[in-house]
Structure 1
Amino acid sequence: MPSKYRPQIFGWFGDLDKGPYSVPLHDDRLSYANNNYCAFIRQDLNDQIFYACLSFFSIICGSVIIIGFFWLLVHHDNSKIEFIDMIVIFCFINCCLAMYYVIPKLYHNLFSRCGSPIIFNRKTGKVYVNESDFFNFKFLRHPAVFLQPKKRRIKEYDWDDLHGVIIHNMSRNALTSTVLMVCQPGTHQVIDHIMLDPIRAGAGSTFVWGWINSFMFFCDVANIDDGEYKSDQEAEFKAHRIDGQGWPEWMIEAFNATSLEALAEIKQRHNITE
């Protein structure tokens, strides 16, 4: 049975239901939570270093291949085209496509900081994201974005418009990720994607989704002291994960908004228009 969200994301494995889950967290991605909001980190520093190095090595190899192609082009006998020439051209095209894919991965891993936390406020039903603009599922990009490696996406979303799906990495390792499908209000039409929980083995990826749902539905299973920082350590959490990362001041205040009215007052005070 296909996903109910359209267009269906590549590697789709299953849709996830919203509502309280009885499964405990069993996870270390919860950084902080209090009675108003929770924050999950989505990147591990060791993974970032590994994938940044892998991407850099791939770019070096790709650059050598592309330079070699142009060298062959200059010294090639243009009077005839042989089968080997077609193979070289095919490899060149594939190398260019690979570079087009790998360069954003390098930008993403080099310029993501502090775990790229995602914030869920259960009293306003808002979700806040501050991440590298390359931390997404786009493949077709305007060439100009390659000149903006530090470009960021800072957005506020409605929890009601976010829906979880599991995607598979299509390898023998059976790794899955949880992705938030951003839909137009009241529909299943997807307009954006947010990576929630990258690359887990088997069903482990659903623990984060389950805990967040329990938290958003005020379920007791979601213990706010399960995280990296206890609920009374908000200052330490913000010093580690939030400060200096480009979060707008109004958004940081909005983390603790206790109602939509309080959120509106914060936005008005900071001259935020939607």
Structure 2
Amino acid sequence: MPSKYQPQVSAWCQDLYKWVYTTNLHLSNNKKLRYANDDFCEFSRRTTGWGKIGRLITMICLGLMMFMILFILYMVIPGIVEDEIINKLIYIPSCIVFIYFAYILIQLFFYLLYAPEDFPIRLNRKTGKVYIYDHFLLYFGSLATFTRSPFRAKEITVKEFNWADIQGCMASVSVPLASGGTVRSYRIECVVCEPNTTKVIDHFLLTAGSPSYNEWMWINNYMAFYDDNLDGELMPEDEFTWPIKVNWPEEIDKKSKASSLEEYQKI
């Protein structure tokens, strides 16, 4: 059975309920809560491993991969294949493949270098507005990866939506292992529909990695002013942080912190 929200998000596996989740246990925020008060809350959407150390290690590995590919092209292949015609038949396609991989690796390198330390979502329950601080690193690996310029690595997109128009979907991808079996990864995608319809006009990533939907339940209860069972623990301060900080535009920052619709409309 397909999603009732169409067009359907990639790798969709189920629609999530949007209601107040009542439970005797605290609803965990999975240590993703950056800030919360009676007006608004802010959740981290940073992927695990994209902290300072993780990024630096990944960038070093990317550089080493580029060097190894270059070394194979210019040193190993010409030395192994002595026949000039066969050499060209191997060398030219290898160069084309190298250029393709280099494009992807360089793109990832720049996105890791220039992406901010986090890509938060801010939800204001007094105004019913949701604000997304988006960077393409969250969507790296999608089809847009193969057409997007690496020189847009600094680009930040900030979007504002109505909470009433947002629904949740779980998506899942399975990857086979060489030793047998599969590894399955999960993510929660939020779809934005036209008001009072199920027609999807936009979507964004809420969280990835865990098969649970704790963050989705937490946010639903918070937006409904049902705070009794919410885990209020904030995400831990990182020992190492990336130098590029989250910088909300001034107008959006004020709107997202408004205590009422009247205050919001005056901004």
For 2:139, the equivalent position in structure 1 comes to 136
Post-superposition offset of 1:109: 3.4
For 1:39, the equivalent position in structure 2 comes to 42
Change in CA separation of 1:245 and 1:187 when aligned onto 2, cut-off 3 Å: same
Contact 2:122 2:256 in 1 (8 A): yes
Change in CA separation of 1:210 and 1:79 when aligned onto 2, cut-off 3 Å: closer
Q: 1:170 aligns with which of 167, 170, 174?
A: 174
The answer to whether residue 198 in structure 2 is matched with residue 188 in structure 1 is yes
For 2:27, the equivalent position in structure 1 comes to 25
Q: Which amino acid aligns with 2:14?
A: G
Identity across aligned pairs (percent)? 27
Partners of 1:3 and 1:55 lie apart in 2 by: 38
Contact 2:40 2:256 in 1 (8 A): yes
For 1:160, the equivalent position in structure 2 comes to 164
Contact 2:115 2:153 in 1 (8 A): no
The answer to whether residue 217 in structure 2 is matched with residue 213 in structure 1 is no
Post-superposition offset of 1:261: 2.6
Change in CA separation of 1:63 and 1:157 when aligned onto 2, cut-off 3 Å: farther
Post-superposition offset of 1:213: 0.4
Q: CA RMSD in A?
A: 3.8
Secondary structure at 2:31 match in 1: coil
Partners of 2:135 and 2:166 lie apart in 1 by: 19
Within 5 Å, which residues of 2 pair with 1:78-157? 78=85, 85=90, 89=93, 98-136=101-139, 138-140=142-144, 145-157=149-161
For 1:262, the equivalent position in structure 2 comes to 263
Structure 2 residue runs without a partner (length 5+) = 176-181
Contact 2:118 2:246 in 1 (8 A): no
Q: Which amino acid aligns with 2:252?
A: M
Secondary structure at 2:149 match in 1: helix
What per-residue deviation string (whole Å, max 9, x for no partner) do you get for residues 99-131 of structure 1? Answer: 555544444433333432210001111111223
For 2:7, the equivalent position in structure 1 comes to 7
Post-superposition offset of 1:135: 2.5
Moved more, 124-133 or 99-108: 99-108
Q: Which amino acid aligns with 1:190?
A: V
Contact 1:22 1:221 in 2 (8 A): no
Change in CA separation of 1:168 and 1:52 when aligned onto 2, cut-off 3 Å: farther
Structure 1 residue runs without a partner (length 5+) = 230-235, 267-274
Post-superposition offset of 1:51: 5.2
Within 5 Å, which residues of 2 pair with 1:236-251? 245-251=246-252
Length-normalised TM-score, structure 1: 0.72
